Amino acid sequence: MTEDIALTGERQAAARRLLADPIVTDRTHPEDFALVRAHSDWLIQRFRRVLGYELTVAADYARLAKTGLARETARPLTRPSGAHFTPRTYTYLALCLAVLVEAPATLPVDRLAEDVGAAAAEAGLALDPRERMGERRAFTAALRKLADWGAIGEQRGALAAYADDSGAEVLLDVYPEIVRRVVAHQPHSTADARAFVDGHGAADPAGEDAGEIALRRALAETAVVYRADLSERQRRRLANHQWRAAAELGGLLGCEAEIRAEGVALIMPGEAAAEGVAAFPSATPVGQAALLLLERLVARLRPGTVPESAVAVPEDVLESELAAVLAAEARDEPGRGTRSALRQEPDPDTLAARALRLLHETGLLHRPDSRGDDRSGWRLRAAAARYGGRPSGGFPTSPAEGTSDEDRAPDGAEAPPTTAR
């Protein structure tokens, strides 16, 4: 029995890693890749049956190709600083992929920069990473993302040094098979970018079986699925199949489902945070700032005491609470650890924007356009209620004061809702 539990735990940990990082290699995640290889048959079969995802496991990498939900769960790539990729950086990423598929096993970065410049010129693009520091840094950001995915490696020198100094010597290892797998679905000619993305979206298919799989994908890939956000057809499916979907996802990911009137959230096991796949809360500066902001907003607005699935956050309230969170950096609040966490983030405006973005991505705050710099139009959503009433010195273990029994976390679900990414 103990052996069966251990075996199931290994399989589910490997599945969580693949859901969070669809490219896993023996260089980037050696321990996780060993688990994926050991349980490859089970993982391939389960991902195909439960989520309709195709998993490829080779000698030195595994690639989970996701389908559907293209627009609903897409998140921008980021630089090491946390800043979003710009269109220029995405363009360099595409150019690097085009060049690297036929590159030799080892390649100096300055030679790659030359080849990328030539490819850009052939495509009619005025881009060349050798021209200016800004161009070189965008080019290097794309390469560092490829290194994170295991498509290239730094054999000698560091890409970070090359970003600041074009004379820095960097020799890259190139893994062409992984380079070819970075793009899960090969691009094809379309009228525009939106049409290409829409062509891969399948959030509300007409067929019953396809619709149930799309529903499971939404639950697995979205921190909280609110019934109000679904189409009428998917709301009916969720009402009819929510327990079966919870059981299937629990068997694959080792998670529990918290099902309430407003929607459904997956609760990942405690060890998921150590695996690095939990979206919220986290010990990062941004994660701590977001958690503190959320607690303060819940205390003021008490979303669990109103029938609506979200309550409006007045602009002045959001401004004042953000100011209080940022001011915590200058204070030593016993037990919270905010000072040590927040002081690592040098730019208060950047910290505030990233905290809001994190809360938006995890379904706790919402605004139709979350990218704007102003503080108007935000709404505190129902799932935020469970982050009220944190005792001094710990993570929240009970919902906000005034929350009804129906809104409380189920027994044994003390950890806040988190989801694999």
Q: Tell me the per-residue pLDDT of 167-203, one tens digit each, with 9 for 90 and over.
A: 999 999 999 999 999 987 776 666 666 666 665 566 6
How confident is the model at residue 79, as a pLDDT?
86
**Nearest Cα to Cα of residue 293 among 398, 407, 378, 414:** 378
Query: By the 8 A CB rule, do 76 and 82 touch?
Result: no
Which has more confidence, 371 or 344? 371
Which has more confidence, 86 or 284? 86
How confident is the model at residue 250, as a pLDDT?
95
pLDDT, average across residues 397-402: 33
pLDDT, average across residues 299-324: 84
Query: By the 8 A CB rule, do 179 and 100 touch?
Result: yes
Q: Mean pLDDT, the chain, as a whole number? A: 82
Lowest-pLDDT range, 22-31, 343-352, 387-396? Answer: 387-396
Query: By the 8 A CB rule, do 104 and 174 touch?
Result: yes
Kindly tell me if the per-residue pLDDT of 76 is higher than 70.
yes
How confident is the model at residue 280, as a pLDDT?
77
Q: How far apart are CA 374 and CA 401, in angstroms?
A: 30
Question: How many other C-beta atoms can be found within 10 angstroms of the C-beta atom of residue 297?
Answer: 25
How confident is the model at residue 63, as a pLDDT?
96
How confident is the model at residue 303, as a pLDDT?
77
How confident is the model at residue 342, as a pLDDT?
44
Band of pLDDT at residue 338, cut at 50, 70 and 90: very low
Q: Does domain 87-182 have CATH number 1.10.3470?
A: no
Band of pLDDT at residue 416, cut at 50, 70 and 90: very low
pTM equals 0.80
Q: Tell me the per-residue pLDDT of 107-156, one tens digit each, with 9 for 90 and over.
A: 999 999 999 999 999 999 999 999 899 999 999 999 999 999 999 999 99
